[in-house]
Amino acid sequence: MESTEYHHALALLNWQVELGATEAICDAGVNRYEVPARVETPKAAAAPTGPARRSAPPKAVEIDPVAEARRAAEAAGDLDALRAAMERFEHCDLKRGARNMVFSDGIPGARVMIVGEAPGRDEDREGRPFVGRAGQLLDRMLAAIDMGRDRADAPVYITNVLPWRPPQNREPKPDEIAMMRPFLERHIALAKPEVLVVMGNAGAQALLGKRGITRLRGQWGEALGLPVLPMVHPAYLLRNPTAKREAWADLLALKARLSDA
């Protein structure tokens, strides 16, 4: 009889499980909708005191790379000191992927200072601006108006907005331009040119706060108290030879400006 009752109870239990029952029935009913009279809330752990207490870790200090660049640039008293300050500057990621820092070429104190965009592969290898195909074209352009980076009678001084080569020769980013602008401004102040020529969008953005070099070219502007002539980059002329006529007009405008000064 006992065995019969066991198997009967087991069959009833299996039947209830098949129907979806998940809990056993208690002797007393359970009201699932009843709100408890008092809810226990967990107590916050007391803050440790005495020797075992730990102070909160200090917050990381955020560095403003533009402010750091400005402090380093303003402290430079001459071009050699400025070069050294730029070589010590560690906040521009481009430095980690470049072979050399490209500072300048030509003769400091020249009446004309040319500001390009950034070094390319050849410039990164040699550590001088405008030495590749675009630089060779620039030299021919300057020679056409009796000027040159090494001419004692009519020299030019050349630099770039960025001193380190961007990966795959990509265009400089706005934050990179803003980061290196204090160095460029100090570079101009120490070189003391009479006229600035900006070649390409990066130079126009850095000194004139504008982009669209094909629209800006040939229109004189002003930056840092100096006249500024925007021109298309020689690399653009290599890709678009038909634009050389406009570049020639810009060169003649530069020569006329120097003659009138």
Query: Torsion angle of alpha carbons 138, 205, 174, 167, nearest 10°?
Result: 0
How far is residue 71's CA from residue 65's CA, in Å, rounded to a whole number?
10
In 3D space, the residue among 111, 114, 86 whose CA is nearest the CA of residue 101 turns out to be 86
| 68 burial type by CB count under 10 A (0-12 exposed, 13-18 middle, 19+ buried) | middle
Which structural domains are found in the chain, ordered by start? 67-260 (3.40.470.10)
Tokens of 122: 């050849």
Residue environment code for 19-45, b if the CB has 16+ CB neighbours within 10 A, otherwise e: eeeeeeeeeeeeeeeeeeeeeeeeeee
How far is residue 156's CA from residue 231's CA, in Å, rounded to a whole number?
15
In 3D space, the residue among 228, 217, 213, 239 whose CA is nearest the CA of residue 137 turns out to be 239
Q: Are 148 and 230 in contact (CB under 8 A)?
A: no
Tens of each residue's pLDDT in the chain, 261 residues: 455 677 777 777 776 767 666 666 666 655 655 655 565 555 655 555 555 556 666 666 688 999 999 999 999 999 999 999 999 999 999 999 999 999 999 999 999 999 999 999 999 999 999 999 999 999 999 999 999 999 999 999 999 999 999 999 999 999 999 999 999 999 999 999 999 999 999 999 999 999 999 999 999 999 999 999 999 999 999 999 999 999 999 999 999 999 987
In 3D space, the residue among 86, 62, 91 whose CA is nearest the CA of residue 72 turns out to be 86
Indicate yes or no: pTM above 0.85.
no
* Residue 150: strand, helix, or coil: coil
Q: How far apart are the first and last CA of the chain?
A: 125
Q: Within 13 Å, how many C-alpha atoms sit on residue 192's CB side? A: 5
